Structure 1
Amino acid sequence: MKNKSYIGISFIILVFGIIFIPKIIDRIKNNDVTKIDRLNTSGQSETSIDLLMKIGPAPKFSLTNQNGETITNDNYKEKVYLVEFFFSTCPTICPIMNQNMVKIQNHFEERTDFGIVSVTINPENDSSEVLKKHAEHLGVNNPNWNFLTGDKKYIFDLANKGFNIYAGENKDIDGGFEHSGLFALIDKNGNIRCRKDKFGNPIVYYDGLEETSVQALQQDIKVLLDEK
């Protein structure tokens, strides 16, 4: 009987290997095995103000934009806006983030009460002049999209201590800097807003690399723009 049991178990393992292992390998190759859909978007083509959580006030800031002007959070009063941390020479995730921002910009091109704040984490290279060329290269046409530079410690504190969006310097990786690809969504009253994940927890920030996140942001920005 034991031999029959072993044969039966071995047969099940063999069938499992033939059917499922190639699929697992394909998922690892495609990097799908580590991707988790945090957003609560299943069956949800629209959102409502009741679904957007209020995390708290966004950190205040004062930096210099691509035109050499001082820009603060006061410039965004009565506006819905996004905040990202990036750098112009980033060889990895920044181009994807910037292109997704352009996509969102174009989606709301009729709205004068929508803006974007892109803060460089490499201000030693990213002067106002460099950022102006970068904005022109991206096709930025929203007058409320400011590319900001300034003191490096101030910027790193703003990212890591203010927004809790990681940014760091690492000379051992391509580009010399590492950071998350997250976007912060701020409402007209200066509060960080977000939807919940599928477990009912606030996502806090939106993944700037994922198409589902971009779609969710477009939905949630519209809701905040129309909020009375």
Structure 2
Amino acid sequence: MKLNFSLPLSFLFALAIFVSSCQNNKKLPILGPREAVSVKNEDGSMGVDTVYQTIPAFRFLNQDSVYITNDQFKDKIYIADFFFTSCTTICPTMHRNMKTIFEKYKDNPEVMYLSHTIDFKYDKPSVLKKYAEKLGVDGNKWQFVYGSKDSVYQLAERNYLVAVMEDTTARDGYIHQGWLVLIDKQKRIRGAYDGTDPKQVEQLTKDIPVLLAEDKK
């Protein structure tokens, strides 16, 4: 089930800028909360700098029963999402679309993928492994990860700005938003795309090289 939860106003505002700026294919905006801080310049004067929210350090078990951390994504851009293997609503569509992007950029060592299960009861590493194999994914570029409810849910809502929840009244027991979230090499959010919408997935495909080009300028 797709959620229609209200996102923070700062995120919606940034997202509007994002849609507009993508049309120019110059530089993607930085999304999410930000804070102005005082800094001391080299000449001793005081100035103001902007500190953006970043994805914090994490540690999860992957589909190979190996702990992975944010170190695996150092100097990489990556696409993150939240799903569960028994999902019969939006997850299959999300991951079919994500697989298309995976195939397009699978030879690029700077692009990775990170899927967090929100089913902390059933989706242990062995289940994630079977899911990855069924999807036709192997290797280390696409990580499927399992963690405790608190660690995954807090990361989703506080840092990726994706709403997830356990709901016994829902068809599959969980509900969540279907964002594919684009993260840059500085661990900042640079785009959020509806993984069930072909047009937005196509835009994500186009935005990946735009983001990669930033570090080469």
Band the TM-score falls in, shorter-chain normalisation: 0.7 to 0.9
More helix by share: 1
Q: Does 1:48 align with 2:21?
A: no
* Structure number with larger C-alpha Rg: 1
Equivalent residue number for residue 217 of structure 1: 204
**Partner amino acid, structure 1, of 2:197:** E
Is this contact kept in 1: 2:22–2:207, CA < 8 A?
no
- C-alpha change, 1:169 and 1:74, in structure 2 (3 Å) is same
The alignment partner of 2:137 has SS state of coil
- Matched letter for residue 19 of structure 2: N
What SS does the corresponding residue of 1:60 show, helix, strand or coil?
Answer: coil
Aligned residues: 178
Q: Contact 1:118–1:148 at 8 Å: present in 2 too?
A: yes
1:76 to 73, 76, 79: 73
> 1 or 2, which has the higher strand percentage?
2
Distance of aligned partners of 1:161 and 1:189 in 2 relative to their CA distance in 1, 3 Å threshold: closer
Question: 1:138 is aligned with what amino acid?
Answer: L
The one of 182, 199, 209 aligned to 1:185:
182
Alpha-carbon distance between aligned partners in 1 of 2:175 and 2:114, rounded to the nearest angstrom? 19
The answer for unaligned runs of 5 or more in structure 1 is 1-37, 195-204
- Residue pair 2:86, 2:172 contacting (<8 A) in 1 also: yes
SS at match of 1:131: helix
- SS of the aligned residue for 2:208 comes to helix
Question: Is the contact between residue 166 and residue 180 of structure 1 (CA under 8 Å) also seen in structure 2?
Answer: yes
Question: Structure 2 regions of 5+ residues with no counterpart?
Answer: 1-15, 32-51
Matching residue of 1:127: 124
Residue 158 of structure 2 is matched in structure 1 by 161
Deviation, structure 1 residue 76:
0.4
Q: Which residue of 2 aligns with 1:207?
A: 194
Equivalent residue for 2:47?
Answer: none
Rounded Cα–Cα distance in structure 2 between residues aligned with 1:214 and 1:48: 19
Query: 2:106–2:141: 8 Å Cα contact kept in structure 1?
Result: no
Contact 1:116 1:146 in 2 (8 A): yes
Alignment match of 2:90 (pick from 84, 89, 93): 93
**Distance in 1 separating the partners of 2:185 and 2:172:** 35
1:226 Cα deviation after fit:
2.7
Task: State whether residues 57 and 69 of structure 2, in contact with CA within 8 Å, keep that contact through their aligned partners in structure 1.
Answer: yes
- The one-letter code sitting in structure 2 at the alignment partner of 1:87 is F
What amino acid does structure 1 have at the position aligned with 2:147? G
How far, CA to CA, are the matches of 1:110 and 1:74 in structure 2? 20
Q: 1:58, CA displacement in angstroms?
A: 2.2
TM-score (norm 1): 0.73
> Where in structure 1 do 4 or more consecutive aligned residues deviate above 4 Å?
41-44
Letter matched to residue 117 of structure 2: T
Structure 1 vs Structure 2 CA RMSD:
1.9
Per the TM alignment, residue 72 of structure 1 is displaced from its structure 2 partner at its CA by 1.3
8 Å CA contact 1:47–1:223 kept in 2: the answer is yes
190 and 40 in structure 1: CA distance in 2 versus 1, 3 angstrom threshold: closer
* TM-score, with structure 2 as normaliser: 0.77
- Quote the Cα distance in structure 2 between the aligned partners of 1:213 and 1:48: 18
